[in-house]
Structure 1
Amino acid sequence: MDPVIIVGAGPVGLTLALALARQEVPCVVLDEGPGKDEPRPARTVVLRQDTAALLERLTGTALAEHGVRWAGWRSLRRKQVLSEITFDASDAAPLHIAQHVLTGALRAALADEPLVKTAVDNRLDAIEQERSGITAHTRGANGTWWRGSYLVGCDGPRSTVRKLQDIRFPGRTAVERHAVAALRAELPWEGRTLLHRMPPWRQSGPSAGEVTARPLPDGVWRLDWLLPPGKDLVTPETLVARIRETLAGWTGGATPAYELLDTGVHMVHHRLARRWRAGRVFLAGDAAHLLGALGAQGLDEGLRDVDNLAWKLAAAWHHGPHEALLDSYQAERRAVITARLCAADQVLPALRGAGGLRQIVPGAARGHDALLTDGHLGRGSLGAPQVYADSPLTPRQLEGEIPVDTPRGALVTDVRVTAEDGSFVQLRDRFGRGALLVVLIAPGTGVWDRKHWMSAGIMPRLAAAVAALPHPAELLVAESYPGAPAHSVLLVRPDGHLVTVLNGVRPAELYVAAEATVGGARKEEAQAVSGAR
Structure 2
Amino acid sequence: MLPVIIVGAGPTGLALALALAGHGVPSVVLDGSTDPPTSRLARSCVLAPDVARWGALPGAAREAAGWAGWRGTHRGRTVAHRAFEPADAPLHLPQHVLEATLRDAVVRQELVRMARGHRLTDFEQHGEEVLAHSVSRRSDGRPEESRQWRGRYLVGCDGARSTVRKLLGAPFPGRTAVERYAVAALRAELPHPGEVGLHRGLPVGEVTARPLTEGRWRLDWPLPADEGLVTPEALLQRVHGTLAAWHDGEVPDHELLDTGVHTCHQRLARAWRVDRVFLAGDAAHLLGALGTQQVTEGLRDAENLAWKLAVACREGNAERLLDSYQTERRGAVGRRLRAVDQALPLVRGRGGLATRLAGRGRGRLALLGEAHAGQGALGGPADYGNSPLNGAVTAASATRPGTPVTDVPVTALDGTRSRLRDRLGGPLLLVLTAPGARVWDARHWLSAGLMPELAAVAETLELPAELLVTEEYPGAGAHTLLVVRPDGQLTASLPGADQRALRETVHWLRGAPAPAAPR
Give the alignment's TM-score, normalised by structure 1.
0.91
Residues 449 and 248 of structure 1, relative CA distance in 2, 3 Å threshold: closer
Letter in 2 for 1:226: P
Letter in 1 for 2:67: W
Are residues 1:282 and 2:274 paired?
A: no
User: SS of the residue aligned with 2:361?
Assistant: helix
Residues 218 and 458 of structure 1, relative CA distance in 2, 3 Å threshold: closer
Are residues 1:338 and 2:334 paired?
A: yes
Deviation at 1:506, TM superposition (A): 1.1
Are residues 1:514 and 2:511 paired?
A: no
Letter in 2 for 1:121: G
Deviation at 1:326, TM superposition (A): 0.4
User: How many angstroms apart in 2 are the aligned matches of 1:155 and 1:230?
Assistant: 32
Q: Is the 1:15–1:306 contact (alpha carbons within 8 Å) kept by the matching residues of 2?
A: yes
Q: Is the 1:358–1:364 contact (alpha carbons within 8 Å) kept by the matching residues of 2?
A: no
Letter in 1 for 2:52: A
Alignment of 1:173-322 (within 5 A): 173-199=176-202, 201-202=203-204, 208=205, 210-230=206-226, 232-322=228-318
Are residues 1:162 and 2:158 paired?
A: no
Residue number among 72, 79, 83 corresponding to 1:82 in the alignment: 79
Deviation at 1:323, TM superposition (A): 0.3
Deviation at 1:122, TM superposition (A): 1.2
Q: Which moved more, 1:234-243 or 1:112-121?
A: 234-243
Residues 375 and 24 of structure 1, relative CA distance in 2, 3 Å threshold: same
Deviation at 1:490, TM superposition (A): 1.5
User: How many angstroms apart in 2 are the aligned matches of 1:304 and 1:384?
Assistant: 13
User: How many angstroms apart in 2 are the aligned matches of 1:104 and 1:417?
Assistant: 32
Deviation at 1:184, TM superposition (A): 2.2
Partner of 2:486: 494
Q: How many residues align?
A: 512
Deviation at 1:102, TM superposition (A): 0.9
Q: Which moved more, 1:501-510 or 1:344-353?
A: 501-510
Deviation at 1:256, TM superposition (A): 2.4
User: How many angstroms apart in 1 are the aligned matches of 2:420 and 2:84?
Assistant: 23
Partner of 2:424: 431
Deviation at 1:486, TM superposition (A): 1.2
Deviation at 1:231, TM superposition (A): 6.0
Q: Is the 1:15–1:55 contact (alpha carbons within 8 Å) kept by the matching residues of 2?
A: no
Letter in 2 for 1:10: G
Alignment of 1:301-380 (within 5 A): 301-360=297-356, 364-380=360-376
Partner of 2:434: 442
User: SS of the residue aligned with 2:438?
Assistant: helix
Give the alignment's TM-score, normalised by structure 2.
0.94
Deviation at 1:390, TM superposition (A): 0.8
Deviation at 1:187, TM superposition (A): 2.4
Partner of 1:205: none
User: How many angstroms apart in 2 are the aligned matches of 1:86 and 1:393?
Assistant: 34
Letter in 1 for 2:483: L
Q: Is the 2:346–2:357 contact (alpha carbons within 8 Å) kept by the matching residues of 1?
A: no
Letter in 2 for 1:515: H
Letter in 2 for 1:420: L
Residues 220 and 128 of structure 1, relative CA distance in 2, 3 Å threshold: same
Q: Which moved more, 1:186-195 or 1:237-246?
A: 186-195
Identity percentage over the alignment?
53
User: How many angstroms apart in 2 are the aligned matches of 1:473 and 1:36?
Assistant: 39
Q: Deviations over 1:27-54 (max 9, x none)?
A: 1111111152121111100111111125
User: How many angstroms apart in 2 are the aligned matches of 1:252 and 1:352?
Assistant: 28
Partner of 2:407: 414
Letter in 2 for 1:45: C
User: How many angstroms apart in 2 are the aligned matches of 1:514 and 1:363?
Assistant: 53
Letter in 1 for 2:80: S
Are residues 1:505 and 2:497 paired?
A: yes
Deviation at 1:223, TM superposition (A): 1.3
Residue number among 93, 97, 106 corresponding to 1:101 in the alignment: 97
Residue number among 57, 64, 67 corresponding to 1:70 in the alignment: 67
User: How many angstroms apart in 2 are the aligned matches of 1:392 and 1:88?
Assistant: 33
Letter in 1 for 2:198: L
User: How many angstroms apart in 2 are the aligned matches of 1:328 and 1:257?
Assistant: 53
Partner of 1:471: 463
Partner of 1:31: 31
Q: Is the 1:35–1:120 contact (alpha carbons within 8 Å) kept by the matching residues of 2?
A: no
Letter in 2 for 1:11: P
Letter in 2 for 1:505: A
User: SS of the residue aligned with 1:13?
Assistant: helix
